[in-house]
Amino acid sequence: MANPPSELKRVLGLRSLFAVAVGVVVAQVVFISVLQGVGIGGSSFFVALFIAFILALFYVFTFAELSLMLPRAGSISMYTEVSLGHFAAIIAVAAGYLAPALFALPAELFLLEAIFDMLYPGSFGQLGLVILIGLAILNVLGVDIFARVQSFLAYLMIIALLVIGVAGTTGNDPEGGDMTSLFAGFGDVDFSVFNLVVLALWAFMGFEFVCPMVEETKDPEKNIPRSMILATIALLFIYALIALAGYLSLPQEELANSEVPHYVLVSALFGDFGKLMLAVLAITATCSTVNTVIATLSRMLFGMSHNKQVPSIFMRVNSRTQTPWVGILFIAVLTIVPYFIFRNAQDVILLMVISAATAWLVAYIINYVNLLILRRRYPDYARPFKSPFYPWAQILGIIGMVYMIINNSPTPEMTWQVYRNAGLLILVAGIYAGLWVRYKMKKGLFDPEPIDQALEN
């Protein structure tokens, strides 16, 4: 018997989910933050990287528990509606995930085009737009096709990163520091390392994008937490290797001051062949991120439509491929519009990316609160995965996110603009959420949904 037209099919295994987790996290901006971080902090950045890894595990544990306790595609909207109510649930997704995608995806596409314009001037006009449309079509064609494309991109990217890392750490003619100075620098690490943690933690943000795929996952009780935890560990090793390659191969000042330090590093390591290496790295990182965000956000909207938090049209799936095609096209259009609007105003979109990222951090805080509330409200409810170090993982996670919000702005002059824009994004999401919950859903703003009723939807 065929599945009904509002149901997804389970085809994703551990390898596919690992590719999703790695693919959405490792964007080009991450290469920049890691290499600039080691350029700024030297030895201290490796300590910051490990602290960021621990903080990342805290939110991974939290999302893993909630995703298996409430295994629905809505992800954070589902967790929040049963703890804080539909109003906060809608804000968490609209301001915390849709708004960052609205600005971050075009910014990633612009960066890809800038890299290709440096490598092959005038040869790839509007490459980002072509990639976006192509990936949207592939997503509609089936989750199995999405999984194959994502796995190819993610694993090719990992191979490229390992090649760069190994080449940078085994070179015979280093121009940067050496292992002696690196280890000596660990003795000078002080509390200023926490400023570098802000930079390092961005390299570990986004593993929870696996969770909206829970309804399409085989054996989710094992594969959801394993994929996120394995991806976190793998990326700690890869980031440390890339940072070490940068530290040993180039002067710190050059890494810290370059707007595209990954271009500088690859060129130093491979010369003319570095063009091809960087092209592969750039296109796999960007495509992998865009591909995953299109897939996961469309599933969030699919889950929210089942919970009546967005129009029911987002519940529709393709009758043949069983993909949420309305959500996929919506995310694609949501990216195309700012792609054209901000094409010649990329300083503006950079500001909006930072502002939206602040709203994303608020969503993480909401999710930590979700787990704290649901542990107390439903102490005996089935939990296939339970967060280690509860409640300290969640308390320290909240402190970490608040610290990042306070220190998220790259310059003091930009701080007010970031807070203002983040506040406006949350306000707009709040207005929609308030009107929708009160007059469309006819529910109280802060009335939590009974957990069994939420799962029945």
So what's the pLDDT on residue 7? Answer: 64
Estimate to the nearest angstrom the gap between the alpha carbon of 124 and the chain centroid. Answer: 27
Q: What angle do CA 12, 309, 213 make, to 5 degrees?
A: 5
Residue carrying the six token digits 């996961």: 296
So what's the pLDDT on residue 6? Answer: 52
pTM equals 0.93
d(CA 435, CA 60): 32
Return the SS3 of 217.
Answer: strand
d(CA 277, CA 284): 11
- Residues 6 or more apart whose CB falls under 8 angstroms from that of 132 comprise 105, 109, 290, 332, 335, 336, 339
Domains in the chain, start-ordered, CATH in brackets? 21-456 (1.20.1740.10)
d(CA 433, CA 235): 36
**Structure confidence by residue, pLDDT tens digits, 192-232:** 888 899 889 989 999 999 999 999 999 999 999 999 999 99
Q: How confident is the model at residue 62 (pLDDT cuts 50, 70, 90)?
A: very high
Gyration radius of the chain's alpha carbons: 21
**Most confident among 113-122, 138-147, 253-262, 362-371 (mean pLDDT):** 362-371
**Structure confidence by residue, pLDDT tens digits, 122-166:** 777 789 999 999 999 999 998 888 889 999 999 999 999 999 999
Residues in the chain, how many? 457
| Helices 28-41, 193-201: crossing angle, 10 deg rounding | 170
Amino acid identity, residue 237?
A: F
Amino acid identity, residue 267?
A: S
Average pLDDT (112-128) is 85
